[in-house]
Amino acid sequence: MDALMLARVQFALTAGSHFLFVALTLGLATLVAFMQTRATVSGGAVSGGVVHARMVRFWGQLYVINYAVGIVTGLVMEFQFGVNWGGMSAVTGEVFGAPLAMETIAAFFVESTFLGLWIFGWDRLNRWVHLGLIWVVAVTAYLSAYFILVANGWLQRPVGFVLEDGRARLTDLGALLTNPTAVLAFWHVVFGGLLTAGVFVAAVSAYHLRRRTGEVEFFRRSMRVGLVALIVGAVVVPTPGGMQFAYVQPTKQGASEKGLAEQARFVAEFGPGDYLAPGGAKVGEVLMLVAWQLLMLVALAALVKVWSGRWLVRGRVFHVVLMLSVPLPYVAMLSGWVFREVGRQPWMVYGVLTTRDALSKVGPGWMAVSFTVFTVLMVVLLVVNVWLLARFARRGPEAVQLGAAPPVRPVEPVLTPSY
């Protein structure tokens, strides 16, 4: 593989694994925030809200396990912008960098700091303050997704800049922030995340109800939360997704009439070459639609069942269907993303900078070393965390460690003789 392909595959693997975890993080943070609101309003663990408080801790811990991988893969991704794609920061760094700066300072900083307070301040903070923390975490998570999609939307449809001496200068921040390819993608991801979390929560609940693990009320309530999210997500997600087709690049659709016209324009402007999207984009589009259609069928069944608690507890076939549905949102997410990103090739910034020109001048040897090291690291990270998620999901609410009173074991006495 040449350096370009190595760098592209490395980015695809990192961003792909990042996206898998972020999708669940976004949706699950929202569901946990709603659960904690319910728990807090009904008096917390002290009075009536025992089951709700337990739900917050159980789903909250799965969220936290998931979040940690999101952060770490995000770091590796940010690092790759600088190392592997130096040509991009040289030509378009200023415009592309602005939303990234906003994401880190206006969103991620607050999100991460408040999440730390939420995790470790469980018994120390007033319960209304503690509730406020998770809402701040959820809102800043969405803000973070928005800024990232502003950066990505600009790669799809560059606006608000001028090229001067081969460098892009930011001229219109408003155009950048209201770019339809960013705003529509944001709403698409919001409901995609909700759908992912809905399927996840419903499927884990289905597992426990089917196995009759004894936590019937806990998982009946959880299943209902999951199914509502699943239905809302599945029904709304295609709207902002489909609206994006109005802004899709002509070359993304392959050799259509418009695509060929665009191809001719690029050849005239940038020299000979193949400017039509590779076939992988079409595969992504089809897979995404198939996965969504299957999810729509699940959502229809859910719409029938969600009203009756008895049906939720007993429908054993439905339980199996839900458990089998867990991969579907991920398939839809990843293939939709392949459609979007592979469909932009051979451009890094559409019509401005090709992916080849965006590559760093780092030697291919170093590129291979970095590829190997980070791929191994990502795989270990993914395997360990998926295993942990499954383990804690399976063990149920009794095994939760988050927000639990610290285990009573002989902690070292504060004063010990020093001889």
Partner 1 sequence: MEMLAMAMLAVFTAGYLVLAGADIGVGMVLPVLGRGQGERRLVIAGIAPFFLGNEVWLVSAVGIVAGAFPGLEHRLLEGLFPVAGALVVAWVVRDMGLWLRGRVDARVWRAVWDGAVVAGSWGLALAWSSLLGTLLADAAGAGGSGFNVGSVAGLPLVVLFVLHGAGFARWRLSGEPLRRARRVPARYGVTAVVLVAVTVVAGLGVEWSRVQASPAGLAVTAVMTVVLLPLLLAAQGLVWWTFRGRVTAPTYL
Contacts (CB under 8 A) with partner 1, residues 330-369: 360-362, 366, 369
Beta-bridge partner residues of 354: 347
Give 105's DSSP letter.
I
* Residue 96 is a binding residue for partner 1 (CB under 8 A): yes
Q: Which of 45, 72, 139, 232 is in the footprint of partner 1 by CB under 8 A?
A: 72
Distance in angstroms (rounded) separating the CA atoms of residues 11 and 351: 21
Question: Closer CB to partner 1, residue 47 or residue 418?
Answer: 418
Of these, 37, 113, 213, 375, which contacts partner 1 (CB under 8 A)? Answer: 113
How far is residue 201's CA from residue 208's CA, in Å, rounded to a whole number? Answer: 11
Spatial distance between the Cα atoms of 255 and 279, rounded to a whole number of angstroms: 10
Q: Smaller CB distance to partner 1: residue 42 or 104? A: 104
What stretches of 84-126 show up as alpha helix (H) in DSSP?
86-102, 109-120
| DSSP annotation of 246 | G
Binds partner 1 by CB under 8 A, chosen from 65, 141, 155, 313: 65
Is 82 or 278 the residue whose CB approaches partner 1 more closely? 82
Work out the number of other CB atoms within 10 angstroms of the CB of residue 413: 7
Report if residue 48 touches partner 1, rule: CB under 8 A: no
Select 228 or 367, whichever has its Cβ closest to partner 1.
367
Q: Which of these ranges, 83-91, 307-315, 333-341, 347-355, lies near partner 1 under the rule CB under 8 A?
A: 83-91
Q: For residue 299, give the 3-state DSSP assignment.
A: helix
Query: Residues 161-200 vs partner 1: string with x where CB under 8 A?
Result: --------xxx-x---------------------------
The Cα–Cα gap between 402 and 56 comes to 9
For the segment 114-153, give every residue that binds partner 1 (CB under 8 A).
114-117, 119-121, 124-125
Asked if 315 contacts 305 with a C-beta cutoff of 8 angstroms, the reply is yes
Estimate the crossing angle of helix 316-325 against helix 280-305, to 10 degrees.
Answer: 150
CB of 359 to partner 1, least distance (A): 11
Among 106, 235, 236, 248, binds partner 1 (CB under 8 A): 106
Burial class (CB in 10 A: 0-12, 13-18, 19+), 326: middle
Site for partner 1 in 380-409 (CB under 8 A): 381, 384, 388, 392, 401-403, 406-407, 409
Nearest by Cα to 280 from 207, 197, 344, 214: 344
Between 124 and 212, whose beta carbon lies closer to partner 1? 124
SS3 238: helix
CA distance 262 to 269: 10
Point out which span in 80-88, 296-304, 315-323, 330-338 binds partner 1 (CB under 8 A).
80-88
Question: Can you tell me which of 26, 53, 102, 223 binds partner 1, judged by CB under 8 A?
Answer: 102
Number of residues that bind partner 1 (CB under 8 A): 73
Residue 374 Cβ, how far from partner 1 at the closest point, in Å?
Answer: 8
